[in-house]
Amino acid sequence: MPTPPPFDFANLSLAEIARLAEENRLPPVESWNPAHCGNSDMRIARDGTWYHQGSPIGRPAMVKLFSTILRREPDGRFVLVTPVEKLDIDVEDAPFQAVEMKAEGEGAAMKLGFRLNTGDLVSAGPANALRFEAREDGPRPYLHVRRGLEALVARSVYYELAQIALANGSAPAGVWSNGAFFALEPHP
């Protein structure tokens, strides 16, 4: 599967981000049910770096490819799955990172688009919710990506979200995207 050219996220409109996110064709991993074959010797670190046998995977195209066959099992485990094999993969926090954000509009008409560390684009909204979790080291924001997979929102992007929430004056503090409101209050 050839890797498409990277998008110039800064110059995309939110409508273009939404369209590209919809067009992202992924393998039907939810319909594949092969036998479990063991461990992949792969790990996704908290910062979004993918490792194989302890070494970082240096080719972004390989990371992108593996990310398309990633699935979360009903018991919470993460697996890489193809039609013929299923291998466990260790994920320290979330399998993706939301590393860049774009906002258009104001208040309830606002739309938020995100670029992930894999190059994927996600528009926040009812199907791709933002949630905030309380942790000892502070609130941790997440964005639903697909099929139970989430992206940890990078700290710099979280600060942008907080700035929008403070500016819109909502109570509780939060942000709107595609008609859905997301409170920044962490859930324990």
CB atoms within 10 A of CB 108: 12
Residue spans of alpha helices (H) in 24-122: 60-68
Tell me the CATH number for domain 24-91. 3.10.540.10
| DSSP code at position 7 | P
Each residue's pLDDT tens digit in the chain (188 positions)? 334 445 565 665 656 555 555 666 678 888 889 999 999 999 999 999 999 999 999 999 899 889 989 999 999 999 999 989 999 999 999 999 999 999 999 999 999 999 999 989 999 999 999 999 988 888 899 999 999 999 999 999 999 999 999 998 888 999 999 999 999 887 65
CA distances from 176 to 38, 106, 153, 179 (A): 42, 8, 16, 6
The residues spanned by each domain of the chain are: 24-91, 96-183
Q: Which CATH superfamily is domain 96-183 in?
A: duf1285 protein (2.30.270.10)
